[in-house]
Amino acid sequence: MNRVLGIDLGTTYSCVAYIDSSGKPVVIKNSEGELTTPSVVFFESPTNVVVGTPAKESATLYPDEVISFVKNRMGQAGAVWNVQGAERTPEEVSSYILKKVVSDAVKALQGENKLAPGETITDVVITCPAYFGIAEREATRKAGEIAGLNVLNIINEPTAAALAYGLGDVNEERVVLVYDLGGGTFDVAMIHITPSSIKVICTGGDHSLGGKLWDDRIIEYVAQEFARQTGSTEDILSDPETFQELMLSAERAKKMLSARDRAPIAVNYKGERARVELTREVFDSLTEDLLERTMLLTRQMLEEAAAKGYSIERIDEILLVGGSTRMPQITRRIQKEFSAPVKMFDPDEAVAKGAAIYANRQSYFAQLIEKTAQETGKSPKELREEIRSGKADIQEMARQANLPTDVVGASVDMNIVNVTSRSFGTIAFKSVTPQDGEQEEVLFNMILKNTELPARRVQEFYTVAPNQKTVTIRVLESLSSEEMADPCEGTEIGEAVLELPDGLPAGSPLQIEFLLNENGLLELTATETTHHQEVRARFETADAISEADLSAAKQRLADAMVL
Ligand code: AMP
């Protein structure tokens, strides 16, 4: 086996998969015997950290030491939890989840003699919502780094799900709509699968819309019912213990309603008790607007897909992924809206399995390139370019290197094409040449949302003042699909400063190049074209964890026992 793992680092649950000796992706159970691990971290002491179901169950007793839904804060500036004497960033909290799921997986594989005792795995691919921007992706990568992992790549959840699906018996071409409703995020994507490629056409979604909001509606309803039944005017939700208990019972009731028509919920508050009977009908009406929001986002994504030549009629199948799609109202609603058949596809495991497939392919390619480089004397960069341009025949390369020509059921030259989920641009003046007079600032989007990756664009801009010394190129990401957008629609993610030679007149041309690679990393090059002065900048996000915080977090994790 290739020593790689695929990790679905979910808002509510995480899951790990590997590729077994027959080439099939398989989910690995954690040490509690579960296929998915609650993404909940309990800092029992500074050096004792518990992750998963025991942590989730400790939330009622230790609400201040237990952290849930960390993914919702990923990549957010200033997000920290002060727990057990340290300020914990989302990167650090997530690193404990990664540490737990990977070490449990390694132990399980050792137990099954698939790994030798003492042998470990550090190469992983982690998934994130398609909707994640650069800061969130970078934070996910850093979480892996803190956990001591070598993150080969961060890939989109719907792409991973399609990859797992595409490996099934899809021998013909088909267009699928992936509707992925997890615990904290909603992703929707249109994906074109052929026997030799998986191409993401369009993505959309909302990273704060997930099963948790369905739970919250139950909690609010139960609190109102408690007040009605007992006549109490107290806010029972302000009591952390009652709230934590209700969070667990609301989720239990929601899951029960996926199979039955009613679910009982018991409430205890300062010795007073109430029993609330929630029916599926009431639950559906309490949460109808949330479901409608997913439909609205789906329609918006479909409009963009239509503009790229993929109309609704082209959808062959709708795949439901993510634990929350088990709620029967989801299938019903989608069936009402679309005529394509709806299929629930391995809702808890598909994403981790797809990540494992991707990790396996990536590690295979690294091996292929390394072997071929040794044999031919060509550089890895050169070989990658030959593969990308189609100059090299990968099948032949694999034969020469004595490597299999099939990787996990697909041919080695299967192409995986992704799109960017955000637009990237810079602030410019609307009238590009100063002679036009007016100087209104606009967000000029160089690369538009849903453009195929890698994406490159070169654009000419002009200096505004005579003898201008520098030009600051501010880079913003946004969800706007317009080339010229309002600057307030964007979020600044970094900047590059271009030093200019003396004596340039106003209106001197500057060439700016944006290159967004397959992994969503942005590179920027600016050239002053009169004298060919160049600045190159790679975008570290403005909200990235500092080096000092990163090494402190690594030290704390190294000193801790993670259970
Ligand atoms: P995921 O992030 O894909 O693991 O999805 C987790 C979400 O799915 C959580 O909000 C769970 O409460 C929810 N979920 C899991 N099983 C069910 C079920 N049977 N019915 C409704 N929701 C579920």
The string of pLDDT tens digits covering residues 431-446 is 645 555 567 889 999 9
Q: What are the start-end ranges of the H helices in 43-126?
A: 53-58, 90-111
Gap from CA of 181 to ligand 1 centroid (Å): 8
* pLDDT (0 to 100) of residue 429: 80
| Per-residue CA distances from 13 to 51, 138, 224, 277, 324 (Å) | 11, 20, 29, 27, 11
Gap from CA of 186 to ligand 1 centroid (Å): 12
Mean pLDDT over each residue of the chain, to the nearest integer:
89
* pLDDT (0 to 100) of residue 2: 61
Query: Which has the minimum average pLDDT: 116-120, 328-332, 411-415?
Result: 411-415
pLDDT digit string, tens, across residues 502-540:
888 988 898 999 998 876 778 888 888 887 777 776 665
Ligand 1 neighbourhood includes 158 CB (under 6 angstroms): no
Output the pTM of the full model: 0.86
* pLDDT (0 to 100) of residue 502: 87
| Contacting residues for 193 by C-beta, under 8 A, at least 6 apart | 162, 165, 166, 170, 173, 174, 175, 176, 199
Ligand 1 neighbourhood includes 254 CB (under 6 angstroms): yes
Ligand 1 neighbourhood includes 127 CB (under 6 angstroms): no
Gap from CA of 357 to ligand 1 centroid (Å): 23
Given pLDDT bands bounded at 50, 70 and 90, which one contains residue 39?
Answer: very high
- The token duo for 477 is 């990401």
pLDDT digit string, tens, across residues 251-302:
999 999 999 999 999 999 988 889 999 999 999 999 999 999 999 999 999 9
Pocket test for ligand 1, best of 219, 254, 325 (most atoms within 8 A of CB): 254
Ligand 1: which atom is nearest the Cα of residue 254?
A: 21
Query: Which has the minimum average pLDDT: 6-10, 132-136, 139-143?
Result: 132-136
Gap from CA of 7 to ligand 1 centroid (Å): 17
Ligand 1 neighbourhood includes 251 CB (under 6 angstroms): yes
* pLDDT (0 to 100) of residue 135: 84
Ligand 1 neighbourhood includes 12 CB (under 6 angstroms): yes
Closest residue by Cα to residue 163 from 152, 185, 153, 178: 178
| Contacting residues for 32 by C-beta, under 8 A, at least 6 apart | 52, 53, 54
Q: Where are the beta strands (DSSP E) in 412-560?
A: 415-417, 423-429, 441-447, 455-462, 470-478, 484-485, 490-499, 509-516, 522-528, 533-538
Gap from CA of 498 to ligand 1 centroid (Å): 49
Ligand 1 neighbourhood includes 38 CB (under 6 angstroms): no
Gap from CA of 302 to ligand 1 centroid (Å): 25
Gap from CA of 209 to ligand 1 centroid (Å): 13
Instruction: Determine which residue's CA is closest to atom 19 belonging to ligand 1.
Output: 255
In the chain, % helix, strand, coil (3-state, to 5) comes to 35, 30, 35
